[in-house]
Structure 1
Amino acid sequence: MFLVVTVFSVMLWTQCINADIHPQQDFDLQRFSGQWYRVGLAYDSPEFVPWRSYVQVSNGNVTYDMDGNANLTVWGTGLKGCMCRVYYYQKTDLPGQFNYFSDRHQILKDITVVESNYTEYGLVVKYKKIVKEFSQVSLYGRSPTLRKELVERFRNYSLSLGFSANSILTPSFVDPCSDCGH
């Protein structure tokens, strides 16, 4: 009976998701800003497959400017030690949805915050066209570990968008790099 209720709940929840990915209603960038840990990643790119076993919980910080644009500074271990990356996200007409140019893929991508309670977790979709090479779903937490229910919600959401089960990662090891200067 529990299994039937769980499957029905997941089906009902996924039916609420449109084919279009929409930002969280009444998104508040100021409340979303601050320190986050990426505790989950769904990424189906064939180029990423060899790197899956190296994924760690990464750390980052979201800031915003007076125009409503967002900056994400992420630090983590690279080939030459701790490295820092800064992403500049331009606001769109929809609060919670941003654009940025991907230097790596040479395309304009969108970033959509689809769900957050601001104090515990955030669910973010990168490139909502859902193309294997470019699209990602990330689960962010204010701490490096989240409740199991939130991790399951992330898994189910990623599966509902067509990501394979093998592409959904929830690393347990936290990257030792703590900020961009060290």
Structure 2
Amino acid sequence: MATTMLGMLGVFLCVLAVRANVMPLAHFDVQKVEGKWYLVGFATNANWFVSHKADMKMGTAILTPQPNGDLQMDYSSLKSDGSCWKMNHLATKSDTPGQFVYRSQRWENDNDMRVVDVKYDEYALIHTIKTKAGSSYVLNKLYSRTQDPSQEVLKKFTTLSLEQEILPENIVILPKAEECS
């Protein structure tokens, strides 16, 4: 029992340490992220990613700020069979600008999402801590207004991910794909 409690305390402290390291952008303006973005980069320390990363392709995200400051996120990507994969989340604003929380019904996890860097007409770096059944992992995403972000932006994404101890082989720039209609 004591060993289990110490183990759980260790996991909790690790999660707190990760959360403390990445702060959202201080002067984030949710209204300026409105519109279409390409999901260009994906990086995570989650075990499931290793077996799925080869099949992942660039998709789109439509971000729609809500009047109360929440953020509607609608994702889509074209699957290899030609069908369209879609997912949506309503991210609730927190008391900290640039930080949102939401629950994924599809994946049954809780998400602490932080916009850590943004140039509203070019790119956004998103850091999310996903928690399911007491276990947490990090997911970083690179959104771009175009399918071809600059090398400087790609480097920022890679640096953020390496700082979160994501293995280099789990930092992926997704291949271009046709968009869902």
Q: TM-score with structure 2 length normalisation? A: 0.81
* Alpha-carbon shift at residue 134 of structure 1 (Å): 3.4
Identity %: 26
SS of alignment partner, residue 137 of structure 2: coil
1:124 equivalent among 118, 123, 126: 126
**CA distance in structure 1 between the aligned counterparts of 2:136 and 2:179, rounded to whole angstroms:** 27
1:161 equivalent among 149, 158, 164: 164
Cα pair distance change 1:174/1:132, threshold 3 Å: farther
Structure 1 Cα separation of the partners of residues 130 and 25 of structure 2: 14
2:95 aligned counterpart, secondary structure: coil
Q: Which amino acid aligns with 1:113?
A: V
Distance between the aligned counterparts of 1:80 and 1:44, measured in 2?
29
Q: What SS does structure 2 have at the residue aligned with 1:90?
A: strand
Checking the alignment, whether the CA contact within 8 Å between 2:91 and 2:102 is kept in structure 1 is yes
**Larger fraction in strand:** 2
Offset at residue 133 of structure 1 (A):
5.8
Instruction: Please say which of residues 134-143 and 101-110 is displaced more in the overlay.
Output: 101-110
Shift of 1:107: 3.2
The answer to whether the 8 Å contact 2:42/2:141 transfers is yes
Query: Distance between the aligned counterparts of 2:127 and 2:90, measured in 1?
Result: 16
Unaligned runs of 5+ in 2: 1-18
Matching residue of 1:50:
51
Matched, 1:101 2:103: yes
Residue 81 of structure 1 corresponds to 83
Q: Quick check: 1:61 aligned with 2:53?
A: no
> Alpha-carbon deviations, 1:29-81, whole Å to 9, x = none?
00111110111110221122111111211111100111110011111124671
Q: Report the Cα distance in structure 2 between the residues aligned to 1:145 and 1:111, rounded to whole angstroms.
A: 24
Counterpart contact for 2:129–2:136, Cα < 8 Å: no
Equivalent AA in structure 2 for residue 148 of structure 1: Q
Larger mean Cα displacement after TM superposition, 100-109 or 64-73: 100-109
Instruction: Please state how far the C-alpha of 1:102 moved relative to its aligned partner.
Output: 2.2
Contact 1:45 / 1:132 at 8 angstroms: preserved in 2?
A: no
Q: 1:105 to 1:133 in 2, by over 3 A?
A: farther
What residue in structure 2 maps to residue 177 of structure 1? 179
Deviations 1:97-139 (A, max 9, x none): 100012244332111000001010100001178x986320011
